[in-house]
Amino acid sequence: MAVSMHDVARHAGVSQRTVSNVVNNYKHVSPEMRRRVEASLEALGYRPNVAARQLRGGRTGTVTLAIPDFKERYFVDLAEAVVERAAEIGQRVLIETTAGDAARERALLATGGGQLTDGLVIAARTIEPEDDDLVRAGFPVVVIGDRESVGGVDHVGIPNRPAARAAVEHLLTIGRRRLAVLGGPSNPPHIFALRRSGVDEALEAAGLAPDVVLEIPVGWGRVAGERAMDELLSAGGVLPDGIFAMNDSVAMGAMRSLQRAGVRVPDDVAIVGFDDIWESAHALPSLTTISASYRETAVVALELIAEQFAARGAQREHQHRYVGFELKVRGSTIADLD
């Protein structure tokens, strides 16, 4: 039989209200009384009824996470971080996939995920500021991902422009001058535009013109990166000696193509990716990449959901927060690191 607050109160010789105050971590409990109650909680093995507490507060304890798919490792790593953080704070996560489809993403905004949950965290590819009116009134929504602003909803993102600049500055620092960018407007346009502007800033700071960079349009996955590099190799001519890929999957696809052709990475061509997916540290050579903490993203996103839930019915300014990033230098740009 489950231990109740009444059992703990009788064991500790205090009132149920005092036990409740300790369990809920209210400040106005004397240290001696807190120790006394905590000793009884431990002795009896009391576990709070989280579900009942959530229902009393109008909460389900579940958050919807919407991602495009599980094919890209970035979204797998992101989902793992959100699920892990949710578990730490006593929540569960319902995962939806959208395939990056505009209609499905907008439907989730309009219905709040179509489920009885406390909020929606969505890694969106198509949502624009004009879609704000779709958001169900009073329902907590956080858009997570690569854009400068999402208008009137909360947003957690990566500072794409300075991160891309750091990636290209690294290539320039190690002496690479024949640069290529693997990506193009066929990628999600907001992502490409932000990261390409960071590339241009790095070139300008180095006194180089933006048009010195070879821009190679490519899709958004490993196969696309490999195919694009195969085509470049087949065309002949002078290869770039430094490549910035718009994500790690593209970078690793390109690296596979180069290695198959006998091109040495990083001796002949240095490569930098973006995202720091799990495989990037375990590739051969390991991939230099821009890392933005998945955990920090998850923590901030769930904090914003909680803030919105607590502020239901009250005026609240929408938040746009950015997680930090780090250039992780590995073997694809510095040979001695592997």
CATH number of the domain where residue 331 is located: 3.40.50.2300
Evaluate whether residue 53 is within a structural domain.
Answer: no
Same domain, 302 and 195: no
Domain count, the chain: 3
Residues 153 and 164 in one domain: no
Same domain, 138 and 176: no
DSSP state of 336: G
Question: Domain range holding 278?
Answer: 160-292+327-337
The number of residues in the chain equals 338
Note whether 225 and 111 are same-domain residues: no
Cα dist. 106→110, 137, 155, 240 in Å? 6, 14, 16, 41
Residue 14: give its domain's CATH number: 1.10.260.40
Q: Is residue 55 assigned to a domain?
A: no
Q: Check: CB of residue 286 under 8 Å from CB of residue 273.
A: no
**Residue 123: closest CA among 193, 188, 192, 194:** 188
The reply to whether 169 and 198 lie within a common domain is yes
Q: What Cα–Cα distance (Å) separates residue 146 from each residue in 115, 173, 177, 233, 331?
A: 26, 26, 28, 31, 26
Ordered per-residue pLDDT tens for the chain, 338 residues: 678 888 888 898 988 888 877 876 666 788 888 888 889 888 888 876 655 555 555 678 899 999 999 988 889 999 999 999 999 988 999 999 998 888 888 888 877 665 578 899 999 877 766 666 666 666 888 998 765 555 678 889 888 999 999 999 999 999 999 999 998 655 555 778 888 999 999 999 999 887 778 888 888 789 999 999 999 999 888 899 999 999 999 999 999 999 999 999 999 999 999 999 999 999 999 999 999 889 999 999 999 999 988 887 677 788 889 999 999 999 999 987 76
The amino acid that residue 111 corresponds to is T
The answer to whether residues 110 and 67 belong to one domain is yes
Residue 219 lies in a domain: yes
